[in-house]
Amino acid sequence: MKVKILFFASLREALGVGAESLALPDGIGTTGALRDLLAARGEPWSALATTKNLRVAVNQQMVGLDAPVRAGDEVAFFPPVTGG
């Protein structure tokens, strides 16, 4: 199953990439499992697991880390941002 992954704000800067397509291995069926898979790549990817209040969206809808991920989905990760 292949998904498109987007990274925003400070995550994008830390990772040096804004997007990637990834074929998910068996057993990766939720946004939390996807986050853990990416974080296991080591530095700087481990920031995905340690960023407080990490937000995630699937197909432009905010979801929790238990949300399912299906073939063709667009999954976006971003840290909390503030503005003023």
pLDDT tens digits, 2-41: 999 999 998 999 999 999 999 999 999 999 999 999 999 9
CATH of domain 2-78: 3.10.20.30
Greater confidence (76 vs 80) lies with 76
- Give residue 52's pLDDT: 86
Q: Is 67 in contact with 30 (CB distance < 8 Å)? A: yes
> Does residue 83 carry a pLDDT above 70?
no
Token pair listed for 48: 């995905």
Around Cβ 50, how many Cβ atoms within 10 Å? 8
Boundaries of every domain in the chain: 2-78
| pLDDT band at residue 42 under the 50/70/90 scheme | very high
Alpha-carbon gap, residue 31 to 82, rounded angstroms: 23
Token pair listed for 16: 């040096």
> Does residue 44 carry a pLDDT above 60?
yes
- Give residue 81's pLDDT: 75
Select from 22, 28, 17, 16 the least CA-distant residue to 4.
22
